[in-house]
Amino acid sequence: MLHRRIALLAAGSALAAPSLPRIAAAQGQPAPAQAPGFYRFRVGAITVTTVHDGFFARPLEGFVRNAPLADVQAAARDAFLPTDTTVIPFTITFVQRGDTLAVFDAGNGVTPAGATAGRMIANMAAAGIDPARVTHVIHSHFHGDHVNGLLNATGGAAFPNAAVLVPEPEWAWWTTAGNETRTPEGQRPTFANVARRFGPYQGKVAPFRPGAEVIPGITSLAAPGHTPGHTIFRIADGDAQAMFLADVTNRPEIMMAHPDWQIVFDFDGDMAAATRRRVLDMVATDRIRVTGYHYPFPASGHVARAGNGFRFVPADWSSVV
């Protein structure tokens, strides 16, 4: 009976709707380009713009370190996500008030031809954001997908006029060679990568302490575990506020629902899980709008409690500036 109702509905729709053009690419030809990926909303007088930087796909197996694969697959299935692969989006958050234009993290930067990441500069152009006008690059942590975009195609500074603000604990860890043996093996290349990516900004790198107001209207909050100095940021103008949660979670559909799970990219899994639950509880309690680095674009919304965990609630798109 259900199948008959669906068939009748489909038939009625076919009669009522005009024929649509076929947009599938011919075999062997590239898929059509997507619309520019940027989205804006306001926090008081501050304009927040999220810019899409593409995505990266990796096997779901091994993504979560402290849960059976079957449980992780069930969580992915519940969220209508693939059960063999996890697709990790990248979204950059810009904030502007007057002549101050700051960006949280620097994206993937220049990527090989055909790569699925590295869309930030093109989408910045679509949004009318000139890298030369960026006054501050404010880092949450130093994983490659957050710092590689500090360099342009020639190896120079991609943000030539920007001060580069970094969490003091993060900077201290990754610039001290003696910490390398105390670092998970898979993250040890970060030491050399940090030296390379920050190289063109000598004299412009300024560490800040956790809790400091890094620039007017933007305050840092320590959120360690994902990396030693991982940091999140509160954006505020008067009573209006939002938060950039960086990598407190990866895919929110999985990691908010299971905040005690630890992912392969976490430096200290136990600490990351404790931080995750603390931060998600805070933004859910205070009903603060958030952006996140690995949320589905446009990566803006709220966090609500759901059982023993949380869920991501996308923001109302009617708030577009």
DSSP secondary-structure letter at 64? B
Amino acid sitting at position 177: A
pLDDT tens digits, one per residue of 3-20: 444 343 344 433 343 343
Query: Does residue 56 fall inside a structural domain?
Result: yes
pLDDT for the residue 222: 98
Query: Does residue 19 fall inside a structural domain?
Result: no
Is 251 within 8 Å of 80 (Cβ atoms)? Answer: no
Query: Does residue 29 fall inside a structural domain?
Result: no
Determine the structural domain holding residue 80 and report its residue range: 34-315
Asked whether residue 188 carries a pLDDT value surpassing 90, the answer given is yes
pLDDT for the residue 34: 62
Q: Which helix (H) or strand (E) segment is 165 a member of? A: strand 163-167
Query: Does residue 160 fall inside a structural domain?
Result: yes
- How many whole angstroms separate alpha carbon 96 and alpha carbon 59? 37
Confidence of residue 319 (pLDDT cuts 50, 70, 90): low
The DSSP bridge pattern shows strands 38-43 and 46-59 to be antiparallel
Q: Domain holding 214: CATH number?
A: 3.60.15.10
Query: Does residue 198 fall inside a structural domain?
Result: yes
Least-confidence region, from 12-26, 43-57, 242-256, 257-271: 12-26
- How many whole angstroms separate alpha carbon 202 and alpha carbon 42? 33
- How many whole angstroms separate alpha carbon 162 and alpha carbon 11? 58
pLDDT tens digits, one per residue of 76-109: 999 999 999 999 999 999 999 999 999 999 999 9
Q: Which sign, positive or negative, has the C-alpha torsion 261, 264, 266, 271?
A: positive
Query: Does residue 18 fall inside a structural domain?
Result: no
Query: Does residue 321 fall inside a structural domain?
Result: no
- How many whole angstroms separate alpha carbon 51 and alpha carbon 167? 23
Domain count of the fold of the chain: 1
- How many whole angstroms separate alpha carbon 4 and alpha carbon 83? 30
Query: Does residue 187 fall inside a structural domain?
Result: yes
